[in-house]
Amino acid sequence: MAFKDPLTIAGVTLDSRLLLGTAGYPSPALLSEAIEASGSQLLTLGLKRTVQSGDNGFVELALQTARARGAHLLPNTAGCHTASEAVQLACMARELYGTAWVKLEVIGDAHTLQPDPFELLEAARSLVNLGFTVLPYCTEDLVLCRRLLDAGCAVLMPWGAPIGSGQGLLNLPGLRTLRERLPEATLIIDAGLGAPSQAAQALELGFDAVLLNSAVSQARNPAAMAGAFAEAVRAGRAAFRAGLMAPQDFARASTPVSGHAFLLGEAAR
């Protein structure tokens, strides 16, 4: 049975727990179809890409589709390497898109695209002071995550794996610890998911949502893949709410064998 299980971020209620990126699709039409199929109500837009390279109508179409669906925009600071660059870009995004929400991305290593924790924290503090609702892309480092929450970030978005790698949840113990130690925080797995089963796993672990891009934009059929992720996210969340059994070290018979066997009819005489 379908049930309402909304996600609330900074007072905004979202019916979908799938956040979708809008970069790298083969065509604007395929992007639009994927957005529809995903059911996502929060779409990220890479502002740097838009401003610096032109985007052949992708952003305009994403905006149109978002508006038509009543979805919210989450401009991101992808491609920034310093706090000041990210803050500047976020301010431009606020002007351009009329939203004070920002997915804060400050990259510290060009090879792994790992966030720079120091610049990230500095940028988060500045943006919160400027009145932004900040959703930082971070690692699963517990101390960093605590500092980001203390800085006033609305949610945390730890990586599953490096952006675009499709490797899934690489550090399961670390992510489990984060979930356990920050039970009140809204935690969204962002980046590195390659398959719907990995998204389901994130929700099963108790993460509140997932954000992904490459797995859908690079699929042979992006719309079909977006639909598959939407179902996986719903299934993972439903399983988490239902309460998963605890894994056991040894076999435990699922059929009771205690009591006396009895036979019926001829065989009983």
Ligand X SMILES: CC(=O)[C@@H](O)[C@H](O)COP(=O)(O)O
Q: Which two tokens stand for residue 95?
A: 């002007």
- Answer yes or no: are the C-beta atoms of 35 and 71 closer than 8 Å: yes
Minimum CB separation of residue 20 from ligand X in Å reads: 8
* Region binding ligand X by CB under 6 A among candidate stretches 31-39, 91-99, 128-136, 189-197: 189-197
Q: What angle do CA 238, 240, 243 make, to 5 degrees?
A: 110
Member of 79, 108, 164, 174 binding ligand X (CB under 6 A): 164
Identity (one letter) of the amino acid at 79?
G
DSSP for 59-100 reads: HHHHHHHHHHHTPEEEEE-TT--SHHHHHHHHHHHHHHHS--
Count of residues that bind ligand X according to CB under 6 A: 18
Q: Which is nearer to ligand X, 44 or 126 (CB)?
A: 44
Q: Should residue 186 be labelled a site residue for ligand X when binding is judged by CB under 6 A?
A: no
Indicate whether 50 belongs to the interface with ligand X (CB under 6 A). Answer: no
Closest by alpha carbon to 39, among 230, 233, 234? 230
Cα diameter, the chain: 89
Residue 103 catalytic? yes
Q: Write the single-letter amino acid at 213.
A: N
Should residue 44 be labelled a site residue for ligand X when binding is judged by CB under 6 A? Answer: yes
Distance CA 162, CA 16 (A): 24
Contact stretch for ligand X (CB under 6 A) within 5-13, 213-221, 248-256, 260-268: 213-221
Contact 42, 71 (CB under 8 A): yes
Residue 213 interacting with ligand X (CB under 6 A): yes
Task: Give the shortest CB-10-to-ligand X separation in angstroms.
Answer: 18
Q: Is 201 in the site for ligand X (CB under 6 A)?
A: no
Contacts of 103 (CB under 8 A, 6+ apart): 44, 74, 75, 76, 77, 135, 136, 137, 157, 190, 211
The residue from 86, 145, 191, 226 that contacts ligand X (CB under 6 A) is 191
One of 103, 125, 179, 237 is an active-site residue; which one?
A: 103
Name the DSSP class of 247. Answer: P
Q: Does 192 bind ligand X (CB under 6 A)?
A: yes
For residue 260, the minimal CB distance to ligand X (Å) is: 58
Our CB check for ligand X shows the closer of 129 and 197 to be 197
Residue nearest to ligand X (CB): 21
For residues 64 and 70, give the distance between their C-alpha atoms in angstroms, rounded to a whole number. 10
What lies within 8 Å, CB to CB, of 232 at 6+ separation is 196, 197, 199, 200, 203
Does 61 contact ligand X by CB under 6 A?
no
Q: Which is nearer to ligand X, 4 or 111 (CB)?
A: 111
Contacts of ligand X in 230-269 (CB under 6 A): none
- Is 214 a binding residue for ligand X by CB under 6 A? The answer is yes
Measured from the CB atom, is 164 or 174 closer to ligand X? Answer: 164
> Distance between CA 14 and CA 8 in Å, rounded?
6
As annotated, the active-site residues are 103
Footprint of ligand X (CB under 6 A) = 21, 23, 44, 76, 78, 103, 137, 163-164, 190-193, 211-215
